[in-house]
Structure 1
Amino acid sequence: MASCILEAHLQSLSISDQVGKGQLSKVVSENRVASTLEQVEPTESSQGPPPRTDAKCSRDSSSPSSAIFYVAGSERASYRQVEGIFRDRRKARMIQQPVVSRIHLGMFEIGKPLGKGKFGRVYLARERDHGFICALKVLHKSELREGRVERQVQREIEIQSNLRHPNILRLFGHFHDSKRIFLILEFAGQGELYKRLRKAGKFSEPRAAQYVAQMANALRYLHRKHVIHRDIKPENILVGLHGEGKISDFGWSVHAPGNRRKTYCGTLDYLPPEMVTTVTADQCYDDKVDLWALGVLTYEFLVGEAPFEDTPAMTYRRIARADMKIPSFVSAEAANLIKSLLVVNPEKRLSLEQIQQHPWVVKHCR
């Protein structure tokens, strides 16, 4: 049953490591995360119609979590139910090797476009047999090769498929055909946070505090797993069916057990001083870059624009000095949180634990 395959067979799929030669192929890569990041140039995605239904799939044997995935309103599908239905399938595979269950695009009804990412388009989708609602992200292999982002996509899949948190968008797995890769993602029913912010102009302090607390909680989870996100911004956050924020884009994320990196990457308005200043051969940064980005995010939630927004050259200079002005309509408590995060010295930034205990957050998130 396809809704169960999504969970039981596609938890930890990844693209083959043999991408340096321009080949994107299937391979199961369980419990392994690439930790080398090449600096790459994103490429624009195509504007084609919904994808055709001739895709292949890879097999995965990892077990699902017990969390609940809400498909529409009060309808829901349990990951434990998903696992149970496919228990017999897995036993059959063990006895009758090799047997490969296949997922293909024909198992899904493709709905309206949900958005356009760096390298592809995202569609609303429903598994035909059981009504499992998800989002299907379509990536064109030729564009990934042209943009030299094969390793980046590989890393994104490997990291995100191993994450289980209510404020992180779930990646159930992927399958592919000769031209495309399809990512099976959790459907975030209330859409893009960026669009909600642009429509509102700015958020109220209670609403902003709720999102900040959720992002701090998600980042604590990531950092415990030695994952640095490196690109926290409104465009990379979706809103779930119940209004919860979900980090959705892991294109620049990295698994760094040593917690030290040198690669320049991310979005200029959200980069910390340690990334925009001259980097010597022995100069590194760590997961505190995400703390700075959370400070920028908090400012943007409350003011409606990024704190260092200017011409590119001036933005670099202002970030390096933490040169910003907080409007008077921002409360003193919120301003204190922002100033405690947008600190040039990474070691002096407020920790994620301290953010969750900050008076402004506690006041609005009881």
Structure 2
Amino acid sequence: MQTNKENNAGGVVASSAPQRAPLKETTKSNVVNEADGLHKDSVNSDSLEDKDKQKWSLDNFEIGRPLGKGKFGNVYLAREKSSKFIVALKVLFKSQLQKSNVEHQLRREIEIQAHLRHPNILRLYGYFHDAVRVYLILEYAPRGELYKEMQAQPHSRFDEKRSAKYIMQLANALKYCHTKKVIHRDIKPENLLLSLRGDLKIADFGWSVHAPSSRRTTLCGTLDYLPPEMVEGKAHDEKVDLWSLGVLCYEFLCGKPPFEAESNSDTYKRICSVDLRFPSHVSDKAKDLMVKLLRHSPRDRLSLDGVLQHPWIGQWTEDRSTVPPPKK
């Protein structure tokens, strides 16, 4: 099965659906410069949070170039006028959201992402809306989509050192999410961005859920990344993210998901039987990590602490301990 890789810039899913008229960009004398305002000190970011207690509007921003197009709208580079702070402004059309019946999903996404504070999770600074659009004020990730970065590599895959770095950062971010009772449920390269320094950022929480009860039954996410319990229609918990982490590690190292097949039904079969095959270039330590994550039974999967302490992570990263605790 050929995986359909969508452009998910800033969390907006790409689509061939016709786009509405874009926002008008600022004049040439006022165009947002990406290099200007990227020194993200706490004063600038905190000023956005303080401002959010008031009422935001489009008048607060200078609009720059488009960063991505999607089914429900577009993402633009923007600068908050008073602080000069660079952000990504995600613009969604209410009519498209209503037509697809995803207003509740967007509300949940905003509620979850706005309360997360971690260096490997894209910040949602605030939101506002008018009669036609909803606007999300997001952290700007200058190096863009991790999927595009991967596609630009030889053989469309990362080497083991780079893969280990990303898996370590993602494991840290997911560990933080799970402490907040947040299950992501849609980890894949298209939902990950890169900061100016090349650090991974989880950018899309469209399928995430806050689940204190820890048992869900909704079938969601991307086919190639679905765990057996979802495919088999069973209840699931935060351990679905462990499976996705294993699938992601495989795609980083091999350039494609591990259970890819000619048809959806064949992919389902390979997932349920955990039909895992490794190319010869993958190291034994990397195989060991993936085998321990890609277990049919959720309770048998390696924990996130186990991932962070795994010899493969330790081999390629200077510090396998967790990152410093994020701000409350």
TM value normalised by structure 2: 0.84
The Cα shift of 1:51 comes to 1.9
One of 298, 308, 312 as aligned partner of 1:346: 298
Could you tell me which residue of structure 1 aligns to residue 225 of structure 2? 270
2:197 is the counterpart of 1:239: no
1:347–1:83 distance in 2 versus 1, CA, 3 Å? closer
The Cα shift of 1:75 comes to 5.2
Could you tell me which residue of structure 2 aligns to residue 306 of structure 1? 257
Could you tell me which residue of structure 2 aligns to residue 95 of structure 1? none
Amino acid in the other structure paired with 2:22 = P
For residues 14 and 49 of structure 2, the distance between their equivalents in structure 1, rounded to whole angstroms, comes to 38
1:328–1:85 distance in 2 versus 1, CA, 3 Å? closer
The Cα shift of 1:149 comes to 0.2
1:171–1:84 distance in 2 versus 1, CA, 3 Å? closer
For residues 81 and 125 of structure 1, the distance between their equivalents in structure 2, rounded to whole angstroms, comes to 14
Q: Deviations over 1:112-141 (max 9, x none)?
A: 111234532111111233321000001000
CA contact (8 A) 2:91 2:133 kept: yes
The Cα shift of 1:152 comes to 0.2
CA contact (8 A) 2:171 2:308 kept: yes
Could you tell me which residue of structure 2 aligns to residue 159 of structure 1? 112
Amino acid in the other structure paired with 1:76 = H
Give unpaired runs (5+ residues) of structure 2: 1-12, 26-33, 319-328
The Cα shift of 1:85 comes to 10
Instruction: Determine helix, strand or coil for the equivalent of 1:122.
Output: strand
Could you tell me which residue of structure 2 aligns to residue 108 of structure 1? 61
One of 111, 122, 125 as aligned partner of 1:172: 125
The Cα shift of 1:303 comes to 0.3
CA contact (8 A) 2:37 2:86 kept: no
Instruction: Determine helix, strand or coil for the equivalent of 1:126.
Output: strand
1:282-321 alignment, distance < 5 Å: 283-310=234-261, 311-321=263-273
One of 80, 96, 100 as aligned partner of 1:143: 96
One of 302, 321, 325 as aligned partner of 2:277: 325
CA contact (8 A) 1:46 1:120 kept: no
Could you tell me which residue of structure 2 aligns to residue 183 of structure 1? 136
Give unpaired runs (5+ residues) of structure 1: 1-40, 54-70, 91-99
The number of residues matched between the two structures is 295
Higher Cα Rg: structure 1 or 2?
1
Could you tell me which residue of structure 1 aligns to residue 317 of structure 2? 365
For residues 132 and 80 of structure 1, the distance between their equivalents in structure 2, rounded to whole angstroms, comes to 10
Q: Deviations over 1:153-199 (max 9, x none)?
A: 00000000000000000000101110000000000011000101111
CA RMSD of superposed structures (Å): 2.4
Could you tell me which residue of structure 1 aligns to residue 177 of structure 2? 222
Amino acid in the other structure paired with 1:329 = H
Could you tell me which residue of structure 1 aligns to residue 163 of structure 2? 208
Percent identity between matched residues is 53
TM value normalised by structure 1: 0.76
Q: Deviations over 1:46-65 (max 9, x none)?
A: 52343259xxxxxxxxxxxx
Instruction: Determine helix, strand or coil for the equivalent of 1:350.
Output: coil
Amino acid in the other structure paired with 1:302 = L
